[in-house]
Amino acid sequence: MNEVSDYCISAVGSPAAFQSDEGTWLLMPYLNGGDFLRFVNACQRKGECRNSDQPKKNWDTLGHGISSALVLAYFHQIVQGVEALHSRGIIHTDLKLENTMLSCRDGKCFASVIDLGLGCEPKVTFSCGMTGTPSYLAPELWKRGQSRRSLTSPMRDVWSLGVMLYLLVYPKAPPFMRDGTGQKQIKYNPIEDETIGKENLDLLIAQMLDPDPSMRAPIATILAMLAEIIKTDYAAPPEVIRLIDEKPIDRGATMPVAKCLFDKLDYDVGDQPFEREMCLDDVTEAAPARDFGNVGT
Is the distance from CB of 51 to CB of 41 less than 8 angstroms? no
C-alpha to C-alpha distance for 169 and 280, rounded to whole angstroms: 34
Is the distance from CB of 198 to CB of 170 less than 8 angstroms? no
Active-site hit among 21, 53, 60, 94? 94
By CB atoms closer than 10 A (0-12, 13-18, 19+), residue 260 is: exposed
* Residues paired with 111 in a beta bridge: 102
Q: Which residues contact 106 (CB under 8 A, 6 or more apart)?
A: 284, 287
Q: What is the DSSP string of 98-143?
A: GGEEEEEETTEEEEEE---TT-B-HHHHS---S-S-GGG--HHHHS
Decide if 179 is catalytic: no
Is the distance from CB of 176 to CB of 59 less than 8 angstroms? no
CA distances from 158 to 32, 155, 213, 285 (A): 26, 5, 9, 32
The dihedral sign for the CA sequence 125, 127, 129, 132 = positive
Cα separation of the two ends of the chain: 38
| Residues known to be catalytic | 94
